[in-house]
Amino acid sequence: MASDMIHVLEAAGLNRTYGGGTQSLAALKNVSLTVSLGEVIAIMGPSGSGKSTLLFILAGLDQPDSGSVKLANKNWASLSGSSRAQFRRRNCGFIAQGLSLLPQATVAENVEVPLLLEGIDAVQRTRRVSESLERVGLTNLAGSLTDELSGGEQQRVAIARAMVLRPAVVLADEPTGSLDSITAQSVIKYLVEEARERDTALILVTHDPAIAQHARRIVTMNSGELT
Amino acid sequence: MTAAAPIPPGGRRMIAWLLRRTMTRAPSRLVLEAIAVAFPVAMLAATLWYVDAAVQQMTPNALSPVQVEMRAVAKSLDADIVDVSQKLASTPEVKMAEPFAAAKVLIQSGDSGQMTARLFAVNPEYLARHPWIRTVEGSLGQGAMLSQSASATPGFETAKSITITLPGDAPEFSLDMPVGGIADLRDATTWFSIPYGEVQGDIVTVPRAIIIDFKTYEQKLLPVLREWAKAGGLPPFDPGSSELPSANLESHVTIDHGNYPPDPGQAQLWSSKLQRVLGRQAGLSVVVADNAAEALFESREDSVNAKMLFLLLGIPGVLVAGALGLTGVSALVESYRREEALLRMRGASNGQIMGLATAQAAVAGLAGSLLGLLIAALAVSAATGQAVWQGVPLESFLLSAGLAIVAGATSSLVRVTGLRRACRRGDIGERRLLNLGWMPVWRTARLDVIFIAIGIAILVINIWSGGLKRSPLQGPALMLSFYVLLAPLALWLGATLLLTRGFLAGLGRWAEPDRARPLSSWSGTSLRWLGRRPAHMGRALITGALAVAFGVQVLSFAATYHTAKQADAVASMGSDLRVTPVDPRFPLPSLEPDIASVSPIRLLPSRVDTDRKSILALDLNSYLATATSQPRMLEGVGLEGLVKNPNGVLIHTELATDFELAVGDKLEVTIFPDDFGNTKDMQIPILGIYSAFPPNYPISEIVTTLDALPRAALSPPDYYLAKLAPGLRAKDVAAKIRASSLAQKFVVTSTTAPNERGLTALSLGGLSLIEAIGAGLVSAIGVAVMGAFLVIERRREFAILRAIGADTRHILTGPALEGAAVVLGSLILGIPIGLGLGVLAIQVLGLFFALQPPLLTLPTGGLLALALFVIVTSIGAIGIALASVTRLQPATILRTP
């Protein structure tokens, strides 16, 4: 990793243990990771290796027992409440595994939500939603409810939503886990292209090597440790 | 069931094992299910027990005006009535049996001429035991007592002794007796009523009466009467006679009212049985008349009406509480589905899963039923001020509890069936339902329109068949077509569903996804999304609106009932005060300045055909200035008609029905039918027909003026109506008069003892409070169920929102809006529906009161309290759900696909 690269995400000495006493399970053991602007990283590893735990901690959706995560030079631990939410919205796109869209909202509304939460005016929102949907090729489905869409289309909506505020980093937890291999390749292509075009760092959690090969860097986790 | 323990083999053992694990691992779900059962059980048990307790008061109310419960009437004067009395008194249920005799005699004092009088003979203790005979002065031990009217007769005012003889062809008889005192017999209706036969109880107001000691009668007069009877001078015992017998012997039997069963229906049967027992005990020479029978019969009719009325008031509460349980199904589907999937993965069969569901429902049903019964018992005990198991006979108590448990079991069955169907539908089915929109059975089957059509059809049929009316045969008892009360029930359901359909349709159209519009605000967005999946809000809204409408109906009904009761009390009095002379001869002095006007009221005996009636003779000018409420006229003219034609008469609807009289006919009436000196046959034109004419107590069936009955003015007023000067309170003025020297000559009352039998004697206050609180709780728990659903089923949605940068305020906006929509919607839909239903129900209520009740009495305070209660409890309920939402861990939720 070149030293002159700008680090958008720096995780240092992360530990996370679930449960307590004899039942305790160490999900993360002293994990450190840095991600540069526009970098695409795949985190691989078997089930239960701690990949998702790491991703949620990086997204500020879970808290480590020890260690720190700095995103865009801001430590997650220093943020709380609405400022934490606002910071996540602006800097961190998130794509959850499986169904990650709001079922009651249309395609356009799903993409518009982060813009609305950010307080962007209606004209700007309309323009940016149109642009985002056009980039993922879903303009014609803007008014559809999301459960009328195929799995691939749904993930493209999730990508558009994650990218619409041009965050510094996008975190995706098994974004193609429920898709067939052809659709999965198509979706991951969209995701990586979007990230590159927007110079957004992308961290993918996957256990599919075919997906991981789209990443510039692949890190592997095993029993809570980066190997 | 989250543990991965293996399922043990075997049928019942396995189900018991699973049940134990469910109870220990998911106790809150079981509690929720038990509450869903407890509500309908509590509402039904509370209603039934309250009705039972209320009906128990009807027998004492019915019996309170009965002076002597049974009269053993000798068929001939040869009967040994003292011996009969002793035999009757030995019957366990009998408190006492006292000999009584009456005869038509002539009395004379000094140089006065002979006058006819009614002679009564009783033991001196009799007068002390019966408060309706008031000794004005002296005592029976000192000699014969004169009635006030007899003592006021010229020649008898200062009489020291009298001579009693027999009229007509009687054997020679003369009995000199000292005058022992004066008795007020105006309330002694038993003595003047026909003792037996078809017109039993009709009062024959003879102008003069004397009372002598029974021993004197037995020794001196009875032998002569027997001799006269043997000679054929006295007519034999005639059960069909409409006149008082010339001479008769009776035993007056007093039954302790506490011995009667509290339920009027049972009391009537018990009384009838006792009548037969006493008849056998007394022997063949005596017939026993049941004086309580008519009062108990009417009370029994009223108790049936009361039960129906209370049930039809309370049934909506039970239905809405049952609906609450069904609403809860949606909140539990996800939890059951997860459990079922786990069980199947671990090898559970369909039978085992079904067995577990049944066992869970049984446990929840049992716990819920016990909880419901406990809540109902506490609520009714608090409302009636008496432990419900003490105020209600054991049989009724258990029957009501059993019915409530059956309602709870039915609710459980419907709920479990719905749950099983929802579980079988699965996630995909649920999502398909979401896509298609919320179309429950009532929407597809248009039950709202059907219910409204049924309600309107019932009302139309009722109006077409003549509307609600009083029974012409049963007097004050009502002939109610109770199916009519199903109309408000159907309209309540129909209107609530129709308005909900309208609301949801409007919201759905506004929220249509096809309309490409940018999002407006976060609240607007939440509302738009709410319009696309209104199922849970819709269910909670329907439950809430039904509950609020029910609560408002009950409160407005109870408030109007109270207003009507007060108006009846005022009409019963006729004016602010009633001033009754202790002795009719006492002239009323001026009562100014506290009393603005007074009006003398005379109740004159009369006879129409063979029926004795009481005429209310008014001094019209003073009455118009003094009366505080108006008559309830059914046909013709009222007071204004009497002003134009003071020689006319107004008659009660019952008299009009019995004798087929109409406005314009002439009423043939005999006034003073038993006072040969004053009796007169008259024909008076009928100007109007009323159902109530103040003063309503005691009821008079004929109203006219002194102009029409000049002879009436000769008799002293029975009492005076008095109207207060402005700004004074009746109780204060009454107390002032009682504290003055007038108290020795006049009795002042500010309230009458109104006709306390029937439905108007019931207290709806306690029941309405229970039902209103129940309605408020049902509404709030509906919101809580919806909140529980939001927490259970929208966890992933909240986590997604958190992941894309929504803060807590944003996440809570949606559920809070849903809660607010339900609460406000319930109030906005429920209050007008409840008021409308209240108006409908009051049309029925009108039949129970002397005066027409108002269209509706708005219980503003009660409605505000209900609304506040619904809002506060709902805020609490949704608050718990919102607090749960804030505790959700997005990382944990999003980890699963």
How far are the Cα atoms of B40, B65, B307 from residue B319, in angstroms, in the given order? 7, 40, 18
A175 neighbourhood in chain B, CB within 8 Å: none
Q: Is residue B498's pLDDT more than 90?
A: yes
| CB B601, CB B695: distance < 8 Å | yes
Q: Is residue B126's pLDDT more than 60?
A: yes
Which of B61-65, B365-369, B468-472 shows the lowest per-residue confidence on average (mean pLDDT)? B468-472
Mean pLDDT score of chain A: 90
3-state helix, strand, coil split of chain B in percent (to 5) is 55, 15, 30
Q: Is residue B712's pLDDT more than 60?
A: yes
DSSP state of B221: I
| CB A178, CB A201: distance < 8 Å | no
Which of B221-225, B537-541, B758-762, B832-836 shows the lowest per-residue confidence on average (mean pLDDT)? B758-762
Q: What residues of chain A score a pLDDT lower than 70?
A: 1-5
Share of chain B above pLDDT 70, in %: 90
B369 backbone dihedrals φ, ψ, rounded to 5° = -65, -45
Give the one of B513, B797, B805 whose C-beta lies nearest to A89's C-beta: B805
- In the structure, how many helices (H) and strands (E) does chain A have? 7, 10
Residue B343 vs residue B92, higher pLDDT? B92
Q: Is residue B759's pLDDT more than 70?
A: no
Taking an 8 Å cut-off on Cβ atoms, the answer to whether B532 and A104 are in contact is yes
Query: What's the CA gap between A162 and A175, in Å, rounded?
Result: 12
Residue owning tokens 């959850």: A96
The pLDDT value recorded for residue B753 is: 55
- Region of residue B100 (phi > 0: left; psi between -120 and 50: alpha; otherwise: beta): beta
pLDDT, tens digit (0-9, with 9 covering 90-100), for B358-380: 888 888 888 989 999 999 999 99
Q: Is residue B760's pLDDT more than 60?
A: yes
The pLDDT value recorded for residue B214 is: 94
| CB B866, CB B551: distance < 8 Å | yes
Taking an 8 Å cut-off on Cβ atoms, the answer to whether A147 and B803 are in contact is no
How far are the Cα atoms of A139, B116, B155, B207, B680 from residue B113, in angstroms, in the given order? 121, 10, 8, 16, 22
Residues of chain B whose beta carbon is less than 8 angstroms from a beta carbon of chain A are 431, 434-435, 513-516, 518-522, 525, 529, 532-533, 796-797, 799-810, 889-891, 894-897
Share of chain B above pLDDT 90, in %: 31
Beta bridge partners, B633, equal B690
Query: What's the CA gap between A164 and A118, in Å, rounded?
Result: 11
User: Alpha-carbon torsion B602, B606, B611, B615, what sign?
Assistant: negative
| CB B152, CB B102: distance < 8 Å | no
pLDDT, tens digit (0-9, with 9 covering 90-100), for B643-653: 999 999 999 98
CA closest to A92 among chain B residues = B804
Taking an 8 Å cut-off on Cβ atoms, the answer to whether B435 and A147 are in contact is yes
Taking an 8 Å cut-off on Cβ atoms, the answer to whether B513 and A143 are in contact is yes
Residue owning tokens 């008609």: B641
Instruction: Find how far residue A123's CA is from the centre of its chain.
Output: 27
Q: What is the mean pLDDT of residues B582-586?
A: 77
The pLDDT value recorded for residue B422 is: 64
Q: Is residue B270's pLDDT more than 70?
A: yes
Query: What's the CA gap between B685 and B696, in Å, rounded?
Result: 22
Mean pLDDT score of chain B: 84
Residue owning tokens 């559970």: B348
A104 neighbourhood in chain B, CB within 8 Å: 529, 532-533, 797
- Tokens representing B261? 């069963």
Residue B695 vs residue B842, higher pLDDT? B695
User: Alpha-carbon torsion B338, B821, B771, B539, what sign?
Assistant: negative
The pLDDT value recorded for residue B802 is: 93
The pLDDT value recorded for residue B299 is: 83
Taking an 8 Å cut-off on Cβ atoms, the answer to whether A145 and B801 are in contact is no
Taking an 8 Å cut-off on Cβ atoms, the answer to whether A143 and B515 are in contact is yes
The pLDDT value recorded for residue B449 is: 95
The pLDDT value recorded for residue A1 is: 43
Closest approach of chain A CAs to the CA of B880, in angstroms? 20
Residue A155 vs residue B337, higher pLDDT? A155
How far are the Cα atoms of A124, A136, A210, B90 from residue A160, in angstroms, in the given order? 16, 7, 22, 100
CA closest to A85 among chain B residues = B805
The pLDDT value recorded for residue B482 is: 64
Q: What pTM value is reported for the model?
A: 0.79
Q: What is the mean pLDDT of residues B589-597?
A: 86
- pLDDT band (50, 70, 90) for residue B476: very low
| CB A205, CB A173: distance < 8 Å | yes
- pLDDT band (50, 70, 90) for residue B199: confident
| CB B830, CB B544: distance < 8 Å | yes
A19 neighbourhood in chain B, CB within 8 Å: none
Give the one of A61, A117, A129 whose C-beta lies nearest to B890's C-beta: A61
Element (H, E) at B280: helix B264-282
- Tokens representing B288? 């026993």
CA closest to B803 among chain A residues = A94
Residue B498 vs residue B781, higher pLDDT? B498
Query: What's the CA gap between B57 and B756, in Å, rounded?
Result: 10
Residue B343 vs residue B670, higher pLDDT? B670
The pLDDT value recorded for residue A65 is: 94
Dihedral over alpha carbons B774, B778, B780, B781 (to 10 degrees): 130
3-state secondary structure of B384: helix
| Residues in Cβ contact with B812 at an 8 Å cutoff, skipping those fewer than 6 apart | B882, B885, B886
pLDDT, tens digit (0-9, with 9 covering 90-100), for B792-833: 778 889 999 999 999 999 999 999 999 999 999 999 999 999
| CB B36, CB B411: distance < 8 Å | yes
The pLDDT value recorded for residue B426 is: 54
pLDDT, tens digit (0-9, with 9 covering 90-100), for B596-630: 999 999 988 888 988 888 899 999 999 999 998 88
Taking an 8 Å cut-off on Cβ atoms, the answer to whether A148 and B803 are in contact is no
B889 neighbourhood in chain A, CB within 8 Å: 62
| CB B101, CB B244: distance < 8 Å | no
The pLDDT value recorded for residue B745 is: 83
Closest approach of chain A CAs to the CA of B344, in angstroms? 23
Q: Give the residue from A23, A63, A71, A106 with the most B CB atoms within 10 Å of its CB, the best one to mutate.
A: A106
B896 neighbourhood in chain A, CB within 8 Å: 98
- pLDDT band (50, 70, 90) for residue B473: very low
CA closest to A88 among chain B residues = B805
Give the one of A82, A102, A178 whose C-beta lies nearest to B809's C-beta: A82
Q: What is the mean pLDDT of residues B202-208?
A: 80
Taking an 8 Å cut-off on Cβ atoms, the answer to whether A85 and B519 are in contact is no
Q: Is residue B205's pLDDT more than 80?
A: no
A2 backbone dihedrals φ, ψ, rounded to 5° = -65, 140
B386 backbone dihedrals φ, ψ, rounded to 5° = -145, 140
Return the closest-CA partner of residue B745 out of B716, B724, B725, B723.
Answer: B716
B515 neighbourhood in chain A, CB within 8 Å: 143
ipTM, two decimals, is: 0.94
Give the one of B435, B519, B800 whose C-beta lies nearest to A112's C-beta: B519
Return the closest-CA partner of residue A50 out of A97, A4, A18.
Answer: A18
